[in-house]
Structures are given as structure tokens and as C-alpha cells.
Structure 1
Amino acid sequence: MKGLNTFHFFMETSGLGHQMELFLDYTTLEKEVDSFLNEIEKKSGLTISAEEKRKIKDVYFLAYKAHNSEKRKDGTPYFDHPKRVALLLSNFEGVNIKQIIIALLHDVIENTDIEHDFINKLFGEDIADGVQHLSKKDWKDYIYDIDNKYLSSQEKSYINKRKVQRDNLLKRLNSKYTYEEESEKLKQIIISGDELETNKGISKNIKHHAKKLRDREYFGGMIELDDDELFPKLIDRVDNLATLEGYSNDKVTEVINHTINYFLPVARQRNLPICLIMIKQINKLITNRNLKIRTIRSIKNALFVSQETKHLVNNILSHSTNLVQSSKLKAA
């Protein structure tokens, strides 16, 4: 089924009453996608073949439908974000079709019901794997890995009780169910978000440390991504830094710290222009919001920068306008 047309796949697997809606959506979007493709070609200098255009149209349609009910914090349609990421990415030298596709799809596994296997059937394993690698796991998957030193006696008792229930269930399931059925049953016994919310004290602390473990694994693993996966992720962060208007100062500070600790070191090694753009964005956020973050020292420590890069960083942090010397952004 590799390369199966998304629109036809939806039409074949949906009810008759829903097919007209899909048809109208697809025909309406075709003009929008044509405009999107023209802009990608203009910005990137790529010559996109007819087959590649068909594939990108299918990807665009899938991402649009998947995110259709989602809104960003600022109230804008969520799909505007992956679309912007793809368009921003096309400004960089070396961009390719796979990166554009992954950029459009990068949040569908994490944010929607679309799964790896579905993307694999439509667009192939390399695209499905790329999107999967950019998708965070559920923070609840990390609850049992929290170090006891961060937990109160009540929290330790609570989690240990759930561990016993989980392990006992697994023993019973081993002889009765397939692996897939076991996994589904286990999801029901592992602590759910609703259950955690019934005890606010436990929820806040457990959720905090589970998320820290997840983020450490997720962001720390970026260095292992290949360029076709990493560059969309870096531009995803650039767009997120540019669209933080609706967030509290605490959340913005968290995003900035993640960027300094995880994104800048990787970007410095793999794509210096993106690294410098992020630094400029961080400085602007800190200045506009009057945040108390020791930016220059943190950034320099994160980058282990050379004298040449220190000079560039200092220029940017001093509101230098010489971010990019040419009209075309080039990878380091």
C-alpha cells in the first residue's frame, strides 16, 4: 500500500455520509496546496516533480484533517504551525522533499489519533519513522521510573501499589492474550491522567518528575536524529519560540531553558544559522518580557563555543543586524 493516495484511502474507508465532506475538503484544499507548493519551490529553489507534488498534496490533506479540530494557545488553527514549519524550512539550503513532508506531519502522531502504521501504509516506512522519532511519548509512561528521592511516602506507596497491580495483571495476561492485547489491557491499569487528577498533590509532583524524565530522553536523543528529522525539529522550535504570546512567563522561561540546554548545542553542531536565529529569539523574549535569566553565560556554556562563534553570539545579543550575511541561509 506504499504510496496509496490519502484522499482515496479516506474515501474507501469512510461512510457514504462522510465522503461528500471529504471530497469538498479535498477540492477546496487543492488551490491552497498549489499555492503552498509554489511558495516552497520559490523559497527553496527545488524543482518538484508531478509525483512529488501529488505526494505532498496527500500529506497536506492528511495533516490538515488530523489537526482540524485543534487550536493553538493563541486561538489560531493548529495546522498553521506545521505549515509554517515547512515554509520556514524551505528557506534553508539543502532542504529536500522528505524534510518538507516530515515538517507537515511532525505533530500528527503526538497530538492526534493517527498512528505510525497508518502513515507507513500511505507514505512509506521512512516517513513514518521520521514522524515517530519527532513524537513525544506520554508522560505517564515514565511514572514508574521516577527516583524515590523525589517522592513523598504517600506518593511512593501510591505508585508501588499500581506497580503490583500492573505486574499481577501482566502475569495473568501472558497466557490469555496476544502482545497487542496485553499492551491495550496494560494501558487501562497504568495510572491514567484522570486518576492522577483526583489527588492534586500527587498529580503535580508525579507529573512534574515524569515529564522531566520524558523530556530528558526526548530532547537528549535529538543528536541521534538524521538531518531529515533534525532540521524539521529545529525549525519547529524556531516557530514555537516565535509564537509564545499566550503563554505565562514561567512557561516561556521553561521553553527558553529547554532551548538553551538541548537545542542550541545540537544546532551549533549541525546548522549554525538556525542556532543563531534561536539565540536572537531568546534574547528578544527575555528583553520584551523582562525575564530574569542569565542568558549570555548560559548560552556560551551550552554551546562550548569557539572564539569565532562567541563573537557572533555577542553581536546577536547586542541586537546585531548581521545575523545572516547573504540572502540564502547556509548550513555550517
Structure 2
Amino acid sequence: MPMAKPGPDQIRALRAETPKTRARDFATQLGISEADLVAAHLGHGATAIEADPDRLIPWAGRLGDVMALTRNEHCVHERRGHYSDYRTGAFAAMVLDPEIDLRIFAKHWVHAFAVEEPGEDGPKRSLQVFDAAGDAVHKIWLKPESKGELFADLIANMRLPVQEPSLALAPRAVVEPARELAAGAPALRDAWDAMTDTHQFLGLVKEHKMNRLGAYRVAGAPYVRRLAPEAVTLVLQGAAEQKVPVMIFVGNPGCIQIHGGLIERIVPMGPWINVMDPRFNLHLRADRLAEVYLVWKPTRTGDVYSVEGFAPDGELILQIFGYRKNTPPEPWIALTAALPRLEEVTA
């Protein structure tokens, strides 16, 4: 018989005993969602606010220079910048700041909180958004340079009339495994050749009754080439050493966050490979990379190559592209062409 979920008082008491454990890890240890953990602190530093990005993101834009954080189970993407140039949309909303670049899928923005907690250098303030299962979708962390004096105004304008410390959560959605159809490979390749924009790809594979990973498994060269898992670390190191600008996409069902530009400082720490730059951090569990592919897509403006990593359950962990704005493609193409192929390593 499963253990009953601890109540808010018990969650706060247990949290007070281990305040330095990362919130996500603490929630997992306790058998609750991270949203449960935050909701237990309503009236104790947390306030439930509207989760609608059309309301929340413009308010975040008033806070000035902040840190945006989007993650999945295996990778964390942190980017400093401003929430400027917000564009709503029926399918996806966007933030198109030169530094904070987001694709937002509003149906997954279900629970949101404004959180203030004690820190070694003063109060730590954040906005935290969760999906229907209580998993983190996106977080916004205020920094010393942020306009912290506006945080109270945000809460006053976004606060929900009912502050409920016990959430009714839905079951977590299962990651779709690879959906591949070997017999459909010739038709898939013909459609692939006819692409003119990378955004056509997901519709294309769906039309052929596959998903991204399934299509990669059956397409074969020159469309995809299976890489050794260490290729992701090598491409990050190579981009930093050779000063090749990149675009790094990390996401979950509710948000995709993109870094565009150079990366500089690559720091391995145990199973983690990290980018530790002043305005951009990436934390990737390299040991979770079960399948890695070099993917080619034709577009009307030239060939596009990406390095894409998947978890054992088929979840897309991250994608790395060459940076295309006013940047020659040849250095990125050369860098990716030198990455170790899986068949070479196994041979």
C-alpha cells in the first residue's frame, strides 16, 4: 500500500531539517512533486499566482535582468537576460530577447508561485511554474541586479484569491518511446529531401506515423548518423576551444529554452558536463545520453546540422545547432563531421 502524502506542516518541518538539499531532490526523496513542496510553503514565503504566461511574462519583463531556468530530468539550462519581446500565440508563445529565448506551451503552465526564501546574501526571490503533475516547467530567479522592489507589486497583481496548500495533481505523462516504421523509410526520405524549413520536421514524421527518435532510427545516412555518446561533450568542448557559436536547446513539454552564441568554460564534474559562463550555464548528465545523432536537414537557406541526445526512455535531452545569424556554417559543419561515429567506436 503506497504511503500517504505528507501534509504541508510535515513537509515544511522536514524541509527545515535539510534546507540545502536541492528542492527537486528533496521532493523526490519525500515522494512528492516539487510543486507540492512549494505549495506547502504558502503563507510561509510562497504565494500562489496566475500561471497564464500572457500575464506572468510581461510582469517578469518589468523585473529587469534576471535568470531564466528550464530543465528536464537530465539537463538544466540557465540564462541571464531580460524577458523582452514577448509574443503570444495559439500554439506557442515566445520570448525573443537577445539573451532569453523561449518557446512557451501554455497548456502545461498549470501551477505558479512567487517564492521568497532566506539566503546567505539576503532574500532569494523567484517565480516558479509547474505542470499538471507538479513538475517544474520554468523558473525565473531574481538577481542582485534585478528590480526586486517590484516583486511585491507582481504578487499583489498576480495573487490567486484562494491559496490552497494541498494540490490536486494529475499523473505524470509517460515519455513516448521511439515510434519507428522501417517499411516507411523510403517515403520518409523522399519527404525529408523536400523540406525547406526545419520547423516542418515534426509534422513530416507525424505524417509518416513516426516520432523524432523513430525517424532517426530508420532514416539512415546521409539524413542521420549515430554518434558515440561522448560526442556531446566533445562538441561542447570543440565549440568552446574553436570559438564556434552554437544554439543549445533544452526543454520539457511546457517550455524550450535556447542559448545562442559562444560558449567558453566547459567544466566536467563527475557524471555532469557543465558550461559555466557568466551569463549562461548548462548542466548535463552525460551518463544519461543513451542515443546521440548527427542530423542533417535541408532548408531554403542552406543545410542545417544538429547534434541531438536522447535518454534511455526516448526523451529528447538537448539539441545543439550551429549559430546561423551572420555566421558562416563551415566551422560548425567541420566540427560535427569530426565527431566519433558509434560504428567507429564499437569497431
Asked whether the two chains share a fold, i.e. TM above 0.5, the reply is no
Which protein shows a greater Rg?
1
TM-score, normalised on structure 1? 0.24
Q: Going by fraction, where is helix more abundant, 1 or 2?
A: 1
TM-score, normalised on structure 2? 0.23
